[in-house]
Amino acid sequence: MKFPKPYTLKQIAEIINTPYVGTDDFPVLGMNEIHVVEPGDIVFVDHPKYYDKALNSAATIVLINKEVACPDGKALLISDDPFRDFNKLTQHFKPFKSANQSISDSAKIGKNTIIQPNCFIGHNVEIGDDCLIHPNVIIYDDTIIGNKVTIHAGTVLGASAFYYKKRPEGFDQLISGGRVVVKDHVHIGALCTIDRGVTGDTIIGEGSKLDNQIQIGHDTVIGKKCLIASQVGIAGCVIIEDEVTIWGQVGSTSAITIGAKAVVHAQAGISKSLEGGKTYWGRPAQEAKAELKDKVYIKKIPEIIEQLKRK
């Protein structure tokens, strides 16, 4: 998430009331999660396991809960609770704005686009030309939709990320300030849910087709011309490259990559990254040929046992 204008380190520190290491005028351009940070961004870290990763990332401002040596060319914001203060920044730069009508005055809707009754179109939404939005579709603030997109009834674009920190009093949610971006020629079926990015974008690539009842997690990027069948659940921060086919009821863990032109058969469980150009099956998902070969061997076990008994 980029800020509307450049800020200084001092200004950011005043917003969250934290000490800092660096010059007062050190430039701050935005805030992002570790996997999408760029120079000028703030990244937060609150666990020793990830200190080095954050300090050595592309981010030039690190919101951290320990006084450490500041890397050259970077700045630190020292906080007793980086998770809380990252949320404060999101609330400051992306505050929730309530709606008082079904289609916000700030929404931009293209030529020949049809929006059926009972839809909600939030603030700063952009919908391109020749789109068809069926009844009861909910499109949260800041969502971007390209040209010639079809979205079927009951789908929700832009709900919050499923991202929580466990505290003694319960779970604390990381506030989502990102977007959903749907490219041209995408088809989204009925009752799908696509969560917004925490600070970046959840992206559905050009020409991809989603069946009914699919869940796409925050900051996931789906490539071009992908086919995803009904009841698939994709976790957050997944990269699905171009022309991937995923059949029904497949589930994936977070922060993995599914390579281009991979095919994943129904009910597979994806627990790690998958190489492109191959077919997968099973739980955990593995190459279908290997899985089928194993099943053949398993079926031969009774025969082998009988042979051993005869000896």
Residues with a known catalytic role: 218
State both tokens at 181.
């971006």
Dist. CA 153–CA 191, nearest whole Å: 6
CA distance 250 to 281: 9
- Sole residue written with tokens 């998770």: 83
**Cα Rg, the chain, nearest whole Å:** 23
Q: Of 9, 172, 171, nearest to 84 (Cα)? A: 172
The 3-state DSSP class for residue 172 equals strand
Check: CB of residue 85 under 8 Å from CB of residue 18: yes
How far from 311 is each of 297, 304, 305, 307, 308, CA to CA, in Å? Answer: 21, 11, 10, 7, 5
H helix intervals, the chain: 9-16, 51-55, 82-93, 288-299, 301-310
* Spatial contact of 143 and 106, defined as CB atoms under 8 Å apart: no
| Residue in the structure block whose two tokens are 């890397």 | 71
Token readout for 129 is 């030309």
Q: Are 158 and 178 in contact (CB under 8 A)?
A: no
| CA dist., res. 2 & res. 121, Å (int) | 23
> What would the two tokens of residue 69 be?
């040596």
DSSP 3-state of 289: helix
